């Protein structure tokens, strides 16, 4: 039987084709009834890049992921995966994708190897080709000694590694991951990122969605989305430089009063982020933010809990671009 995941021989791909193979999204919009979830979005990912699509809950990440992974139709705009248009050449596009969903896709009653063999069969891999590819991936993800273990006995991190290995069986040039760190402990996250970096170093285009700032900060590029719109697209360090690189964070007992003092008495333009006030060089007009520390401390007096001078974070970038906090 031909399943959704089965590829015909002519549509399947073999091997990574390198940096020319990219995700190309042009003018993509997606609506659920009246709700515009993705709004005229442009996005490109080249082979060898790890691109994190970062947005708050409800910003449109999953919708974008589902359109790219061919689970939702393209309503408006164009999406190509390694040259295959997902609307007109859906099966070819799917064959060029490795997809890791947020919810685990392993059959926990099967062993690691059995899970991989099932996936291989779906992609038309059999015999020596399948055996050799399984061996290669089990080795790459340090899973050789777990190959005959039932997946229900594996930790969350190991399960994720099996999912990655499964997703790569057919050597896709593009890897899509939806919130890949969900449910992983810190060491499993590190292992996952090692695996993603090694994929990228082989020329695979890696795109992941996340609502975690620290995860996005590890990517080679961050695409920030808000209410379905792309609001920034650059490397984490470029984005941080855009907001002035350095940020003064002021924590006080009464953030509303402190904000008034800074605005009215010191002619500064702080942004309120949660219970703190943040100032970049741009907002303060001061080329050296450090010179503001003592005057602000004097003016706010005892209500100041702390004034911290540090590097801008992706949170500051989000605040600067949208005027709202990332985490409310
Ligand atoms: N099937 C649906 N029907 C109607 N509205 C939907 C549907 N799926 C998503 N939405 C809405 O579209 C918007 C974008 O949702 P989406 O799930 O893509 O965002 P997200 O960034 O992935 O959020 P989360 O991190 O919470 O999964 C939200 O306002 C959401 O409520």
Global ipTM: 0.97
Examine the domain organization and report whether 227 and 253 are in the same domain. no
Examine the domain organization and report whether 281 and 305 are in the same domain. yes
Q: Is 210 in the pocket of ligand 1 (CB under 6 A)?
A: no
Examine the domain organization and report whether 39 and 105 are in the same domain. yes
In a domain, 12, yes or no: no
Residues 6+ apart with CB under 8 A from 185: 156, 157
Examine the domain organization and report whether 219 and 254 are in the same domain. no
Write the Ramachandran bin of 244: left for phi over 0, alpha for psi from -120 to 50, otherwise beta: left
For residue 227, report the distance from its CA to the centre of ligand 1, in Å: 10
pLDDT value at residue 284: 64
pLDDT value at residue 158: 87
Q: Please provide the distance, in angstroms rounded to a whole number, between the alpha carbons at the two ends of the chain.
A: 49
Q: Whose CA is nearest to atom 18 of ligand 1?
A: 60
Tokens 């919810």: give the residue.
Answer: 103
Q: What is the 3-state secondary structure (H, E, C) of 30-85?
A: EEECCEEEEEEEEEEECCCCEEEEEECCCCCHHHHHHHHCCCCCCCEEEEEECCEE
pLDDT value at residue 213: 86
Provide φ and ψ at 264, rounded to 5°: -85, -35
On whether the CB atoms of residues 114 and 138 are closer than 8 A, the answer is no
CATH code assigned at 264: 3.30.70.790
Provide φ and ψ at 179, rounded to 5°: 45, 60
Q: Is 120 in the pocket of ligand 1 (CB under 6 A)?
A: no
pLDDT value at residue 80: 96
In a domain, 319, yes or no: no
Q: Whose CA is nearest to atom 14 of ligand 1?
A: 60
Q: Residue 308's beta-bridge partner residues?
A: 249
Residue ranges in the chain modelled with pLDDT below 50? 1-19, 21
Write the Ramachandran bin of 124: left for phi over 0, alpha for psi from -120 to 50, otherwise beta: left
Tokens of 188: 């499993």
Model confidence pLDDT, tens digit, residues 311-327? 888 888 888 788 777 76
10 Å CB burial of residue 14 (0-12, 13-18, 19+) is exposed
In a domain, 162, yes or no: yes
Closest residue by Cα to residue 249 from 275, 285, 268, 212: 275
Examine the domain organization and report whether 155 and 297 are in the same domain. no
Domain count, the chain: 2
pLDDT value at residue 328: 54
In a domain, 124, yes or no: yes
Q: Whose CA is nearest to atom 7 of ligand 1?
A: 32
For residue 35, report the distance from its CA to the centre of ligand 1, in Å: 9
Q: Whose CA is nearest to atom 16 of ligand 1?
A: 60
Examine the domain organization and report whether 296 and 171 are in the same domain. no
pLDDT value at residue 225: 95
In a domain, 9, yes or no: no
Tokens of 81: 């995966």
Model confidence pLDDT, tens digit, residues 5-55? 333 333 333 333 444 548 999 999 999 999 999 999 999 999 999 999 999
For residue 38, report the distance from its CA to the centre of ligand 1, in Å: 9
Mutate to test the pocket of ligand 1, among 35, 65, 231, 327 (most ligand atoms within 8 A of CB): 35
How far, in Å, CA of 224 to CA of 304, rounded? 32
For residue 269, report the distance from its CA to the centre of ligand 1, in Å: 33
Examine the domain organization and report whether 286 and 224 are in the same domain. no
How far, in Å, CA of 287 to CA of 280, rounded? 9
Q: Is 55 in the pocket of ligand 1 (CB under 6 A)?
A: yes
How far, in Å, CA of 114 to CA of 109, rounded? 10
In a domain, 197, yes or no: yes
Domain that holds residue 271: 244-311
Examine the domain organization and report whether 38 and 123 are in the same domain. yes
Counting from 1 in the atom list of ligand 1, the atom nearest the Cα of 59 is: 21
How far, in Å, CA of 47 to CA of 33, rounded? 35
Q: Is 274 in the pocket of ligand 1 (CB under 6 A)?
A: no
Q: Whose CA is nearest to atom 26 of ligand 1?
A: 57
For residue 58, report the distance from its CA to the centre of ligand 1, in Å: 5
């Amino acid at each position: 039987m031909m399943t959704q995941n089965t590829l015909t021989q002519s549509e399947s791909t073999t091997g990574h084709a390198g940096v020319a193979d990219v995700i190309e999204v042009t003018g993509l919009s997606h609506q659920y009834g009246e709700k515009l979830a993705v709004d005229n979005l442009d996005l490109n990912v080249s082979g060898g890049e790890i691109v994190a699509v970062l947005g708050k809950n409800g910003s449109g990440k999953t919708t974008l992921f589902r359109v790219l992974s061919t689970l939702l139709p393209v309503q408006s705009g164009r999406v190509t995966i390694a040259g295959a248009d997902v609307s007109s050449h859906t099966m070819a596009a799917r064959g060029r994708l490795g997809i890791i969903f947020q919810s685990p896709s392993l059959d926990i009653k099967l062993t690691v190897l059995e899970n991989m063999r099932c996936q291989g069969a779906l992609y038309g891999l059999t015999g020596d080709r399948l055996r050799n590819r399984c061996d290669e991936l089990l080795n790459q993800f340090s899973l050789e000694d777990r190959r005959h273990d039932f997946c229900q006995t594996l930790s969350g991190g190991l399960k994720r590694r099996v999912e990655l290995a499964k997703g790569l069986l057919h050597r896709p040039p593009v890897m899509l991951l939806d919130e890949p760190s969900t449910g992983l402990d810190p060491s499993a996250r590190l292992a996952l990122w090692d695996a993603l970096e090694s994929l990228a170093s082989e020329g695979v285009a890696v795109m992941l969605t996340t609502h975690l700032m620290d995860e996005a900060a590890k990517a080679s590029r961050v695409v920030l989305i808000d209410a379905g719109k792309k609001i920034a697209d650059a490397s984490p360090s470029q984005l941080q430089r855009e907001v002035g690189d350095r940020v003064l964070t002021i924590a006080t007992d009464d953030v509303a009063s402190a904000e008034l003092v800074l605005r009215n008495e010191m002619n500064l333009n702080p942004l309120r982020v949660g219970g703190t006030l943040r100032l970049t060089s741009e907002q303060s007009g001061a080329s050296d933010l450090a010179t503001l520390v003592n005057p602000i401390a004097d003016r706010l007096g005892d209500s100041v809990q702390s004034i911290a001078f540090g590097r801008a974070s992706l949170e500051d970038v989000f605040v600067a671009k949208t005027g709202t906090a990332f985490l409310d």
